[in-house]
Amino acid sequence: MAKRKKHIKDYSKRNYLSVWDSDIKFIDKIKIKIPLKLLLICNKIQEQIGNYEFSLLCKGNFDENGDFILSDDYKIVKQRVSASQIEYNQEHITELKQQGYNTVIHSHHELGLEDFSVTDDEYINKNFLCSILFVNKKFAKAIMNICIKDNLKLRVNCEIEIMFNYDEEIDTSNIEIYTLYNKDYSYLFFSDKNVNKRTQSKTKNR
């Protein structure tokens, strides 16, 4: 009997935690935030060269929320292009990658597919942390390659958001803001998004 007691463990409450507190943040999607300047630059390049592909490299970093923020620093890598293909100068692209250019943007101009091709996946997408497709005047698609272990990466489709940063203050004194009564809101809101806002607003004011 005495022998048995010796092996009984102490299961008192202090050995257990109902919540394992931790500072780790979790995200279930990655948003790539792109400065408006890069969109304007891509449109300008396309306007200058016509319906040919092109590519440029830029730099991005994750912020504390898990969003991948691109700076407006970019380089046009030396390249040979046709309407459906890009050939990079290996020496130049290697040099730029060493300088921290971890993101590639390439264009399918106005006539191409709004999706990465098999060749893109094989030659462009897998060589950068982030790859963005520019087509028909906009950024249409973006992926990131998240490292799981050596020689194994998880490819993730990402959301794209354009950052409309504009530093100069604008004089808005001619705009007078006033609040409508709730009953008048129905005339103003028509999209699903705004219907939700209206519902929230009504709930708040109850």
- Name the residues that contact Zn ion, by CB under 5 A: 117, 120
Q: Please, how many CA atoms are within 13 Å of residue 117, restricted to the half-sphere of its CB?
A: 15
**How many Å separate Cα 82 from the centre of its chain?**
28
In the complex, the smallest distance separating the C-beta of residue 174 from Zn ion, rounded to whole angstroms, is 46
| 106 close to 39: Cβ distance less than 8 angstroms | no
Q: Residue 59 or 109: which CB sits closer to Zn ion?
A: 109
Distance between CA atoms of residues 156 and 128, nearest Å: 13
* Other beta carbons less than 10 A from residue 88's beta carbon: 21
Find all residues with CB under 8 Å of 5, minimum gap 6, and list them.
none
Q: Residue 40 or 113: which CB sits closer to Zn ion?
A: 113
In the complex, the smallest distance separating the C-beta of residue 37 from Zn ion, rounded to whole angstroms, is 22
In the complex, the smallest distance separating the C-beta of residue 104 from Zn ion, rounded to whole angstroms, is 10
Distance between CA atoms of residues 106 and 143, nearest Å: 12
Distance between CA atoms of residues 88 and 100, nearest Å: 17
Q: Residue 59 or 108: which CB sits closer to Zn ion?
A: 108
For the chain, the first-to-last Cα distance in angstroms comes to 67
In the complex, the smallest distance separating the C-beta of residue 107 from Zn ion, rounded to whole angstroms, is 8
In the complex, the smallest distance separating the C-beta of residue 112 from Zn ion, rounded to whole angstroms, is 7
Q: Residue 34 or 135: which CB sits closer to Zn ion?
A: 135
**Shortest Cβ contact with Zn ion: which residue?**
120
> Which amino acid makes up residue 6?
K
In the complex, the smallest distance separating the C-beta of residue 127 from Zn ion, rounded to whole angstroms, is 13
Q: Residue 59 or 141: which CB sits closer to Zn ion?
A: 141
Distance between CA atoms of residues 131 and 101, nearest Å: 11
Token pair 């292009």: residue: 81
Please give the structure tokens belonging to residue 130: 């982030």
Q: Residue 67 or 120: which CB sits closer to Zn ion?
A: 120
